[in-house]
Amino acid sequence: VFVIGVGVAGLSAIATAHALGAKVFANDVRDAVRDQVKSLGAEFVPIDAEGIAGEGAGGYATEMGDAFKAAQLATYARVIPDMDIVVTSAMIPDRAAPLLIPEEVVRSMRRGSVIVDLAAQTGGN
């Protein structure tokens, strides 16, 4: 299971998947959530982009620049084909949820794999 977006919903998804016995991986633009991910038994998947924290006012995620977005999509394209379940919960306050899984990455997933977008009501995947 790969969880993208480690706010309240993402943390809940991690805890539930882990409790059910799944091997769980997670990512968030906020590097500060790394310890929370590990404390729930999941492995944090970092984005290969240095010096970017991704955390704005109140601890919420901020909109990232184009270089970071490219590195993020490349990381997801590498990780997602090996996952059976992908849960996205990435949201930015007062903005549409980001599209994090392009069509070509969806096509690279194994047959029967599932994407659950908890932020679909505001855009997203």
Contact between 84 and 4 (Cβ < 8 Å)? no
pTM: 0.86
Element (H, E) at 18: helix 8-19
Residue 58 has pLDDT above 60, yes or no: no
Does residue 60 register a pLDDT over 70? Answer: no
Q: What is the DSSP string of 66-117?
A: HHHHHHHHHHHHHHGGG-SEEEE----TTSPBP--S-HHHHHTSPTT-EEEE
DSSP structure class, residue 40: T
Hey, what are 62's tokens? Answer: 């901020």
